[in-house]
A and B are shown apart, each in its own frame.
Chain A
Amino acid sequence: MRLNQTRPSELRDHERELHFFQLRIGVAGFAVLAAFALLFMRFVHLQVVHHDAYTSKAEENRISIVPIAPNRGLILDRNGVVLARNYSAYTLEIFPAKVRDLERTIQELGEVIDVQAKDRSRFRKLFAEMRNAESLPIRARLTDEEVARFAANRYRFPGVEIKARLFRQYPYGEIASHVIGYIGRINQKDQEKLAELEVEANYRGTDYIGKSGLEASYQQELHGTTGFEQVEIDAAGRGIRTLARTNAQAGNNITLTLDIKLQEVAEAAFGERRGALVAIEPSSGGVLAFVSKPGFDPNLFVDGIDPASWAELNNSPDRPLTNRAIAGIYPPGSTFKPYMAMAALELGKRTQKSAIHDPGYFEFGGRRFRDSKKGGNGYVDLYKSIVVSSDTFYYQLANDMGIDAIASFMGKFGFGAKSGIDLEGEATGVLPSPEWKQKRFRRPEQQKWYAGETVSIGIGQGYNAYTPIQLALAMATLAANGDMYRPRLASYIDNLRTGERRHIEPALLKRIALKAENVEFVKRAMAGVNKEGTGARAFGSAEYTNGGKTGTAQVIGMKQNEKYDEKKVAERHRDHSLFIVFAPLERPTIALIAIVENGGFGARAAAPIARTVLDYHMLGKLPDEDAAAAARGAAAAPARGEAAAGAQD
């Protein structure tokens, strides 16, 4: 209407204006196309160029890998008796990240479920050690009733959950605790070790790891292979469904050479006394019994030991956590003498007929080395020197042989070297030699080897210091006429999935070249020890052939000419009692060492234990309880006369 009134010139204006407008429309259209082209390029960038990257991001978003921890392999004794097994139980676990006030939550949990002070302190200890652990147990082994009670109160405890977990259990408790060891929660140090071995991935979802004993040394075998479940999750992290599953493969079962019955007999024979016992099959190196007393209950460690129990074990003067059989170091005392005799014969320093007159002492460099038998044993030949355990004979012999010859011969029998048993934490001990002294001491006057020091080496004193496993290995090697097999606890390993059984073959470490007649002679002398000598009281009545040697090891140094009076010496400063034995004489099936700390004379404390173990091994005879108790009683309160009468070492 308005336009109808326009004049021609205005119409031209209007057309120019329209043209102008349409130009702007064109510009706008072009801008739109440019913007859409930009979007298109962005889409190509995201959906074509970087499609793969975004796809994997989307997959990472939605798929969570949930590890499935494998069942740990079992540990069984040589007859298939289970020594370490798994059982399923409910634990109450706290997810620290999801809990606001830990202390209050634990406090309130205590109203619903029995949470004791030791549970709390254990939880705090775990929490301090493993700050970034996803969940930590506050209570283990819930009863069905407790599970039901918590379930009813669940809403009050966000971040607290009941989990079904597999637990390790050691049905024999303290028995063989140092052999089997225990598992515990994986800590920072374990984590680093796993990283070093590059097996971290296989430990995802696993909370426990072997900490000591076979549980530690066969960790990789026992662990198995972790399985994985791919779970689709939503943005809130809730599992929607399982996409794929790779089952876990249980760890391998390990069967030992150890006989748990024999072990029980041995541990019972020790009673409350401290010490160690290692029994080896000489023809294979298989360990039949392995005792370190006192032991501990490995079940305490399984779900994290509470600090009170830990302190008790750790601070006890009896040191129950030390594996004496491989880490305890003792002078061998007179159990060293058969090897000295062996050396003398092999090196031609003595013959079977060599004899001395024993006045009760040996004089060297103006110093008098005392024999433990006052007045001496009179005429002493090589055989008698072992049977009656003449010190004078071996003082002299050591002096004649010299330290280098002794060290080199004893080294062959494994003295002062790790035996290589399949346990961790073995000590080396000390095989004394001028070289060792040179390395061991700093000051020049200490570094020098004095000839006088060689003398007491001959009777297993002085710097001599060996682990029970070394002494057992030497005994086994002698029993096997010089064949040395690496001591081992594992007999075979079963892979349950493939059914494959892997035998751990006896490892012959060396054959020591020994003359048969010499070996025969020393064995005969050792048999004499148990028939008519220092071991006769314990072994005289044995119904099988055997050979042994008593030993008494000084704990504190005695001044020259000082008389050792058992009653005056504090219990912990009393001599250690040692006994080595093998049986039968022909084709021995067992060689063992028994050490009773502060047990006094070897014949008195260690020999009866050895006898009990051998009786069971050779005859299947269980110790008569009364007799065993009597033997222990006798050991604890030695008859006065006996010491004087020549229960001599």
Chain B
Amino acid sequence: MELAPFSARRIVQRFTGGIDGPLLALSLALVVLGLATLFSASYEQPARVTAQVSNLVVALAAMWLAARVPPQTLMRFAVPAYLVGIALLVAVALAGDVVNGARRWLHVGVARFQPSEMMKLALPLMLAWYFHKNESTLKLRDFTVAALLLALPVLLIARQPDLGTAVLVAAAGFYAIFFAGIGWKILAALGVLGLASLLPLWGMLHDYQRRRILTLIDPTQDPLGAGYHTIQSTIAVGSGGITGKGWLHGTQTHLEFIPEKHTDFIFAVYSEEFGLIGNVVLLTIYALLIARGLMIAANAATFFARLLAATITLMFFTYAFVNMGMVSGILPVVGVPLPFVSYGGTALLTLFISIGILMSIRSHRQLVQT
């Protein structure tokens, strides 16, 4: 068959069309590091590694699908996704499952999921859509509306209480507003206002949240309680040194001193075993991923696509920064996984859908030139 090579290439091209090589390579590099670390952290439960691999397969499929959804189509999902998200958050507040003292989970058939997770994507989508719709006439009023759109889910999530996710969702909304072009002066004013509201906000915090912040300032105050996580993870990081203790040789990890070592604290495991060199490698990959994302944003075709791409990219940064900062003891302990590295299906799915969206924005940038 003479046509065979030709059609095979076409099939491959059809299949890989819209997939961005650098994004895929960088995110997969992170996943591979994550799996290696997970293997070390899960010596007593090797099934976790295979579970994470199957999570990855699902996530990659979702990415592949998301990569072929044009931004214009995506824009149509913005309002419904936001509204469904809000509705689910309200449902959680009324009938959610309580786990560890917080009402975060919602039963959907056999599975449970956290609607707050969905908001991490739905809010940027909504704001990008809103700003895009009013692109030519952006005024202070529009930013005020955007702020309200932002505040509603953030408050609902904070009430659960899930301060970590609330802060992250708020950050996502803030990035959208920032890229939409809010004036520097307003930004500065908001900053001052934000600082001023810290005190009443402190009063609204739950005890355990206050304790987390206080123990950040001095973890040794409560070495076996709230400070335990930070103390043990800093010891893990610090004892790793420049070259690390070697893969599978982290004592803090293998003797169970690191809590939540597959999920939120997986960076402690990684850092103990791979040391400063490993950390630099990880920071570099994240930096390259973010650079690639910002490049895509800068070259995106529409205002919506630009805002969405930039916001998603900065969310990657935020997760990575907050997580590593918390593990190394410069940020309070909030429930944020290390993107692409931590164990967990939902997070991986959300992340790869985001990667897919970035890919889609990249492959649809030509619209400007036509």
**Residues of the A chain whose Cβ atoms lie less than 8 Å from the Cβ of B165:** none
Closest chain-B Cβ to A3's Cβ sits at a distance in Å of 7
Q: Which of A10, A42, A47, A51 has the most CB of B within 10 A?
A: A47
Is A43 on the interface with B (CB-CB < 8 A)? yes
A21-29, A193-201, A256-264 - interface stretch: A21-29
B97-105, B119-127, B236-244, B344-352 - interface stretch: B236-244
The answer to whether B237 touches A46, judged by C-beta atoms less than 8 angstroms apart, is yes
Q: Which of A3, A50, A233 has the most CB of B within 10 A?
A: A3
The answer to whether B238 touches A47, judged by C-beta atoms less than 8 angstroms apart, is yes
Closest chain-B Cβ to A278's Cβ sits at a distance in Å of 60
Query: Known interface pairs A39-B328, A47-B242. Does A24 touch B181 (Cβ–Cβ under 8 Å)?
Result: yes
The answer to whether B276 touches A47, judged by C-beta atoms less than 8 angstroms apart, is yes
The answer to whether B256 touches A235, judged by C-beta atoms less than 8 angstroms apart, is yes
Those of A195-244 within 8 Å (CB) of chain B: 232-236, 240
The answer to whether A61 touches B238, judged by C-beta atoms less than 8 angstroms apart, is no
Is A542 on the interface with B (CB-CB < 8 A)? no
Residue of A nearest to B132 (CB): A2
Question: Per a CB cutoff under 8 Å, which of B255, B257, B275, B286 touches A36?
Answer: B286
A52-60, A96-104, A124-132, A425-433 - interface stretch: A52-60
B14-22, B60-68, B289-297 - interface stretch: B289-297
Is B25 on the interface with A (CB-CB < 8 A)? no
Q: Give the docked Cα–Cα distance between A25 and B317 (Å).
A: 13
Q: Give the docked Cα–Cα distance between A551 and B181 (Å).
A: 118
What is the total number of residues of chain B having a CB less than 8 Å from a CB of chain A?
48
Query: Known interface pairs A47-B241, A48-B241. Does A58 touch B251 (Cβ–Cβ under 8 Å)?
Result: yes
Q: Give the docked Cα–Cα distance between A366 and B292 (Å).
A: 126
The answer to whether B298 touches A61, judged by C-beta atoms less than 8 angstroms apart, is no
**Residues of the B chain whose Cβ atoms lie less than 8 Å from the Cβ of A10:** 136
The answer to whether B298 touches A36, judged by C-beta atoms less than 8 angstroms apart, is no
Q: Give the docked Cα–Cα distance between A232 and B329 (Å).
A: 26
Is B280 on the interface with A (CB-CB < 8 A)? yes
Q: Give the docked Cα–Cα distance between A191 and B237 (Å).
A: 40
Question: Per a CB cutoff under 8 Å, which of A42, A43, A50, A235 touches B257?
Answer: A235
**Residues of the B chain whose Cβ atoms lie less than 8 Å from the Cβ of A51:** 238-239, 241-242
**Residues of the B chain whose Cβ atoms lie less than 8 Å from the Cβ of A3:** 301-302, 367-368
The answer to whether A39 touches B321, judged by C-beta atoms less than 8 angstroms apart, is yes
The answer to whether B181 touches A20, judged by C-beta atoms less than 8 angstroms apart, is yes
The answer to whether A48 touches B242, judged by C-beta atoms less than 8 angstroms apart, is yes
Those of B12-46 within 8 Å (CB) of chain A: none
Is B234 on the interface with A (CB-CB < 8 A)? yes
Is B279 on the interface with A (CB-CB < 8 A)? yes
The answer to whether A25 touches B328, judged by C-beta atoms less than 8 angstroms apart, is no
Is A112 on the interface with B (CB-CB < 8 A)? no
The answer to whether B294 touches A29, judged by C-beta atoms less than 8 angstroms apart, is yes
Closest chain-B Cβ to A145's Cβ sits at a distance in Å of 39
Residue-by-residue, is B204-244 near A (CB-CB < 8 Å gives 1, otherwise 0)?
A: 00000000000000000000000000001011111111100
Those of A94-115 within 8 Å (CB) of chain B: none
Question: Per a CB cutoff under 8 Å, which of A25, A43, A54, A233 touches B310?
Answer: A25
Those of A30-89 within 8 Å (CB) of chain B: 32-33, 35-36, 38-40, 42-44, 46-48, 50-51, 53-55, 57-59, 61-62
**Residues of the B chain whose Cβ atoms lie less than 8 Å from the Cβ of A39:** 279, 283, 321, 324-325, 328, 330
**Residues of the B chain whose Cβ atoms lie less than 8 Å from the Cβ of A58:** 235-236, 238-239, 251-252
Closest chain-B Cβ to A83's Cβ sits at a distance in Å of 48
The answer to whether B256 touches A54, judged by C-beta atoms less than 8 angstroms apart, is no
Query: Known interface pairs A51-B238, A53-B238, A58-B239. Does A43 touch B271 (Cβ–Cβ under 8 Å)?
Result: yes
**Residues of the A chain whose Cβ atoms lie less than 8 Å from the Cβ of B367:** 3
Determine chain A's interface SS by DSSP, over half rule. Answer: helix
**Residues of the A chain whose Cβ atoms lie less than 8 Å from the Cβ of B257:** 61-62, 234-235
The answer to whether B294 touches A54, judged by C-beta atoms less than 8 angstroms apart, is no
Residue-by-residue, is B282-314 near A (CB-CB < 8 Å gives 1, otherwise 0)?
A: 010011001100100110011100100010001
Query: Known interface pairs A47-B242, A48-B242. Does A35 touch B317 (Cβ–Cβ under 8 Å)?
Result: yes
Query: Known interface pairs A36-B286, A39-B325, A47-B276. Does A28 touch B314 (Cβ–Cβ under 8 Å)?
Result: yes
Q: Give the docked Cα–Cα distance between A29 and B136 (Å).
A: 26
Q: Give the docked Cα–Cα distance between A324 and B298 (Å).
A: 102
Is B319 on the interface with A (CB-CB < 8 A)? no
Those of A532-578 within 8 Å (CB) of chain B: none
Closest chain-A Cβ to B306's Cβ sits at a distance in Å of 6
The answer to whether A61 touches B271, judged by C-beta atoms less than 8 angstroms apart, is no
Q: Which of A10, A42, A59, A240 has the most CB of B within 10 A?
A: A42
Question: Per a CB cutoff under 8 Å, which of B251, B271, B283, B325 touches A62?
Answer: B251
Q: Give the docked Cα–Cα distance between A28 and B257 (Å).
A: 37
Residue of B nearest to A51 (CB): B241
**Residues of the A chain whose Cβ atoms lie less than 8 Å from the Cβ of B324:** 39
Question: Per a CB cutoff under 8 Å, which of B179, B236, B255 touches A24?
Answer: B179
Question: Per a CB cutoff under 8 Å, which of B136, B238, B321 touches A55?
Answer: B238
**Residues of the B chain whose Cβ atoms lie less than 8 Å from the Cβ of A235:** 255-257
Q: Give the docked Cα–Cα distance between A51 and B238 (Å).
A: 5
Q: Which of A28, A33, A43, A235 has the most CB of B within 10 A?
A: A43
Q: Give the docked Cα–Cα distance between A57 and B223 (Å).
A: 13
5 A-B pairs with least C-beta separation: A54-B238, A58-B239, A46-B238, A234-B255, A235-B256
Interface residues of A (CB under 8 A from B): 2-3, 10, 13, 17, 20-22, 24-25, 28-29, 32-33, 35-36, 38-40, 42-44, 46-48, 50-51, 53-55, 57-59, 61-62, 232-236, 240
Known: A28-B175, A48-B276. 5 other contacts (CB 8 A): A35-B321, A39-B283, A50-B238, A61-B235, A233-B255
Name 26 A/B residue pairs within 8 A (Cβ), A-sorted.
A13-B136, A21-B181, A22-B298, A25-B294, A28-B178, A29-B290, A32-B287, A33-B287, A36-B321, A39-B283, A40-B283, A43-B276, A43-B280, A46-B328, A46-B329, A47-B238, A47-B241, A47-B275, A47-B279, A48-B276, A54-B239, A55-B241, A57-B235, A58-B235, A58-B252, A234-B256
